Structure 1
Amino acid sequence: MAESPRRRQLLDAALHVIADQGLRGLTHRAVDRQAGLPEGSCSAYLRTRSALQQALTDHVAATLVADVDALAEQVRDAPPSDQGVEAALDLFLRWLGQRELLVARLELTMLATRDPDLAARLAEHRARLVELVDEIMGSLGKEHSRERAEALVASYDGILITALLKPPGERRVFLTRSLELLSSALAGSDEG
């Protein structure tokens, strides 16, 4: 479902609220203030706190899946090479520049451990990520399977969290080395 411009504005504001105040700070009023909108705007679109959290979960997950989908398209259209690490590095550096997106994802993931509805939403999006990573590995001529792709997605999560905690000047080197190690350890060898 396409988001209206106002709803997207509210969800983008909610990302900033979570990044700055955590989930405890995620209220309709805080989102309205962050968005620069009159009080009551957020609750007109998302009536309850649960609706706000669910919509934000879908927004964050859809954004990440769309980025990985674009990466899969880029790899699929490129001549075979070892560009997978470089493409992933570019994507991860872009995500690290969007701190709010990653922090919100972490906060919502932790909340999903106690909220079955959010867990189901995240599981659906994660399954698509695993599918895309498996597709990318196949496009690059790497040995691949759902299990390998799932392990890569989980490993990428850990790498991103660790990179987020590093000083910005150290992130590129850390990511490059980590992605190279992961590529050789889990992605398998070239099939050809």
Structure 2
Amino acid sequence: MVSDTAPSGRRRELLDAAVHVIATEGLRGLTHRAVDRRAGLAEGTCSAYLRSRQALQVGLAEHVGRSLAHDVDVLAARLEEARAGDPERDEPLAVELTTDLLGRWLDRPELTLAKAELAVEASRNPEVAAVLISWRSRLVAVVDQLVSRVAPEAGAARAEVLVAALDGLLLAALQRPPAERHRFLADSMSLVLHGLTQP
């Protein structure tokens, strides 16, 4: 489960550096020494805080998950605030706010790439998987509320599919030239959200 307590001081500095390492060098490049180098700290610093490779991976998954979960909670609050508005605006507003969230993740490619690398590791590492499932369940819950408002008969399974589609869109957008990413994301989001929220 992702802790809501953010790391502070040196540990946060190391985890921020680890995000950049895994995003640029992949999981194979995620070593204590590489994190120390990226953070500009003396060799051995990272291993003093995160003693094993497993501890480093789990700590990084918690760090990434915490950041993403915070963004999802903000999205949920914004959708709740808008709930008292015109029901006819539910779907367009949902598309707008969700696209805005993914756009912000797109502007933080290191975080998105780190999440993708950790997702691959989660397929064979139960501890990392448990952390990622925790934050992802928050996103699925928010999306389920969103879908149930605009398509009450859709069912919870549609929220899972939608979250998987959003993951794919982010990665597809990152493979495009930077100048094209946001337009691709906005156009694709409109198609996907509209299609998956219809009865």
Q: Same fold (TM over 0.5)?
A: yes
Question: Does residue 8 of the first structure (1) align with residue 30 of the second (2)?
Answer: no
1:130-149 equivalences under 5 Å are: 130-138=140-148, 141-143=150-152, 144-149=154-159
Deviation string 1:130-158 (CA, Å, 9 cap, x unpaired) is 112112334x5443532111111011011
State how many pairs are aligned. Answer: 188
Question: Does residue 118 of the first structure (1) align with residue 131 of the second (2)?
Answer: no
**Which of the numbers 33, 36, 43 marks the counterpart of 2:37?**
33
Contact residue 66 and residue 135 of structure 2 kept, 8 A:
yes
What's the counterpart of residue 172 of structure 1?
Answer: 182
2-structure distance, mates of 1:64, 1:125: 7
What's the counterpart of residue 64 of structure 2?
Answer: 60
What's the counterpart of residue 155 of structure 1?
Answer: 165
Identity %: 50
Backbone CA RMSD of aligned residues: 1.6
2-structure distance, mates of 1:112, 1:154: 15
Amino acid at match of 2:35: V
Deviation string 1:89-140 (CA, Å, 9 cap, x unpaired) is 22112111111101111111111112122222222222222112112334x5
Highest relative contact order (Cα 8 Å, sep 6+), 1 or 2?
A: 2
**Which of the numbers 176, 182, 192 marks the counterpart of 1:182?**
192
Deviation string 1:16-68 (CA, Å, 9 cap, x unpaired) is 11112111111111111111122221111111010000010111112111111
1:45-84 equivalences under 5 Å are: 45-78=49-82, 79-80=85-86, 81=89, 82-84=92-94
Instruction: Out of 114-123 and 154-163, give the one that drifted further.
Output: 114-123
1-structure distance, mates of 2:151, 2:78: 16
Question: Does residue 42 of the first structure (1) align with residue 42 of the second (2)?
Answer: no
**Which of the numbers 103, 106, 120 marks the counterpart of 2:116?**
106
1-structure distance, mates of 2:12, 2:146: 29
1-structure distance, mates of 2:156, 2:49: 38
Gaps of 5+ in 2: none
**Which of the numbers 22, 41, 44 marks the counterpart of 2:26?**
22
Amino acid at match of 2:42: P
Contact residue 76 and residue 136 of structure 1 kept, 8 A:
no
Gaps of 5+ in 1: none
Q: TM-score, normalization: structure 2?
A: 0.88
Amino acid at match of 1:42: C
